[in-house]
Structure 1
Amino acid sequence: MDVRIGAFEAKAQLSRLLRAVEQGERFTITVRGKPVADLVPHRSASRQGVPAAIAALQAFPRIRGVSDADVAGFVGEGRR
């Protein structure tokens, strides 16, 4: 469960909160009791999303009438 903390207190205790987040803790920051933000540990996207990205690309239907050379040409034009 996330710990709820008011925005004023979060501002005053930011260094302490960041150290806690580094250790895996999570906080929900509130304004007048209403949740407005979550302070959570950063997830490195370096390799975690690769399998999902590959699956999403494989799910796209093949475009008919466009060759690999055409696509390479389009990419080359975009780089100019």
Structure 2
Amino acid sequence: MTETPTPGTGNGDNTDVAAMSYEQAREELVAVVNQLEAGNTSLEQSLALWERGEALAARCEAWLEGARQRLDAARAGAEDGATD
């Protein structure tokens, strides 16, 4: 089995997450969850992975919320256009 390197720097620095696409964040989040579920990490590594996972999940949520807002705006625009 190939060991996935521990994401992040281990010091809670997850600033790179803000630049990720939804797909990148989701893919890495899946890898983090798999690594945590495997249980082959030290407590320190597990904590760093958990923090990374939280940051990745928040990034995914931000992307999904943005998409939801765009859909709502498009629907509202379509409804406004239909009533004109």
The two structures have a TM-score, normalised by structure 2, of 0.29
Q: Report 1 or 2 for greater relative contact order, CA contacts < 8 Å, sequence distance ≥ 6.
A: 2
Larger radius of gyration: 1
Q: Greater helix share, 1 or 2? A: 2
